[in-house]
A and B are shown apart, each in its own frame.
Chain A
Amino acid sequence: MTNPTPILEVKDLQTQFHTQDGTVHAINGVSFVLNKGEFLGVVGESGSGKSVTMMSLLRLIPIPPGEIVSGQAMFEGRDLITMELDDLRSVRGGRIGFIFQDPLTSLNPVLTIGYQIMESLRIHTDLQEKAREERAVELLKLVGIPGATKRLDSYPHELSGGMRQRVMIAMSLACRPRVLIADEPTTALDVTIQAQIIELIRDLREKTNTAVIWITHDLGVIAGLADRVLVMYGGLIVEEAPVAELYAHPQHPYTEGLLGSIPRLDQKGSKLVNIKGQPPNLYEKPTSCPFAPRCPYVFDRCRVENPPLISISESHSTACWWDMDNKRPRNGS
């Protein structure tokens, strides 16, 4: 991409949940930039903070128990975190679309899909009823639902999982968003249906040039989709790189371990490399590297100081004190 223009800039976002068992430090200072028309993949395991980050941006987390402790999210010159709720409502579903993981629980079972698609048009646009209906049919056609006009009167339970996810995508695109956030949109789907949805998203990006943030735990899914990838662990971004660079040349031990622990469809490997131990519990704010207890390269500094994201080239950063290329602690550490 030549001369990228940022559309969304997140700085030092921190979110906590105050529960009966104590405070969960779900995200601990996340900063990233999404450029215009870019496809950004966000990878991490459950509890890594990938969904909470995106939900926090739009203040979709329940408050309380959740609390956005600090941070800034600049979108079109305004900060989403401090914006009036009424203004934020016009952004949600309008300028920023959201696709959730499970289309069955995120569609209202007692309303037709036509009503649900037109709802956001009613709120966010001045279109008249006739025009709204036309737009809804157009959207259903866009996402490849056969017999679109008739489908407006269908209820969610009359559609298969793949079709429901297409409806969700149609809804999120209704107001021509500048940014589309997709939270594990294919995880609940079978692989042949997943392939349909991926093809659809690829196609839509060519047509609409929407910037996409795609959250997933599956390194396979985003390999062919993303321009750039963020890897999250323990509520932090631990590595950030262009997609080809990240897979060929991972610079964080967690990324390396993750790539080694997944079996490959295209080759029969010997043993899977496993990352020993368990993901961190987040009841305490990290003061050391959250991956240190599981890391094969751990040394003294990792246990006392949490590494910030360190730039190792123009587009590649890693939060690690160990220099994987030269097999020694990083300069100055």
Chain B
Amino acid sequence: MRKVAVIGVGMIKVDHHWKESIRSLFTKAAINALEDAGNPDIDALYVGNMSAGQFNKQENLAPMLADALGLESKPSLRVEEGCSSGSAALYMALKDVASGMHDFVLVGGVEKMMDTATNDATFIISTVTDQEYEAFTGLSLAGINAMVMRLYMNKFGVKRESFAKFVVQMHENASKNPYAQFPFKISLDKALNSAPVAEPIHLMDCAPIGDGAAALVICPAEKAKDFTSDQVDIIGAWKASDTFLFHMRKDFLSMKATIEASRNAYEMANITPEDVDVAEVHDSFSIAGILAIEDLGFARKGEGWIAVEEGLISPDGETPVNPSGGLKARGHPIGATGIYQAAEIVLQLRGDAGKRQVPDARIGITHNTSGFGTSAIVHVFKAE
């Protein structure tokens, strides 16, 4: 396998983009990435997208977006893996370049969610769960996370305040991120006292819905030098899955997919969790963020909330988590999220993250899950 590098990143601020279509949103992010990379000729396109069919009544996405970029004569593929579609697209693009089949590959993610009403969006998101035995009961994705949060609070004696502190940290991080949907700080009181969504989860525990697109240009590491002096290599990647139905899990308080994906990705990269200088993790709900901190190996089981309270995951802490503000405050345009995470890590490793730059970042990871940990994808990045 060839070593693969990222030579360009592009992001659009996550927002209500009333004036943008799914096509224009993606194209603008792709242009940003191409310009950042120095406009190499692109050999193939991968697009991560969860549900243009439901959100926008538009399928057959890859040729549509390839055409918009003048890449209609090149191979283009859409990759769907629920909420981790963005990372799934990167996973496939990485293998494409590593295999030697293509050299310069554009990989992006897009989700245009704001054209639908909230109850429609909640339903569409719940289609990542089992339709007959979870969604049928009226259970939402927030509901599964809420059941886990209640169990976690009960088992480890944790109060909602501890989860709210994670939310406050994410907003503080996002306040320095120009791409964030919610670039402002919030008080602990506000994080705690919002409308209930699926108790014990309240609105401020949830990632928002929003429109967004992000893109990367990747190529063989040996060709990267011609385009950039700030090369970032992808040195590990793995995807793992778990039982599709949450009630079939043997452990309700961990995401086995995260444990397996990170263990294999760390092994491939020849690192341990202690080597990670910065991480972008899948905090679709505050409980999911806490579990990610534990399952990725940054804290022991039942102690992720302590890592938050002691500042271990803050930008100047031992392992900064989500300097972007995470899904919670940067935003979670579903199929684009994994690419936003990768773009953030690349900027951090290049030292280009502006006011949100974490100190001395050499190795960074992204962690993107689907459903409640039905799958997890971890990528490991390293500054050359």
Q: Do A and B make up one complex?
A: no
- A interface vs B, CB < 8 Å? none
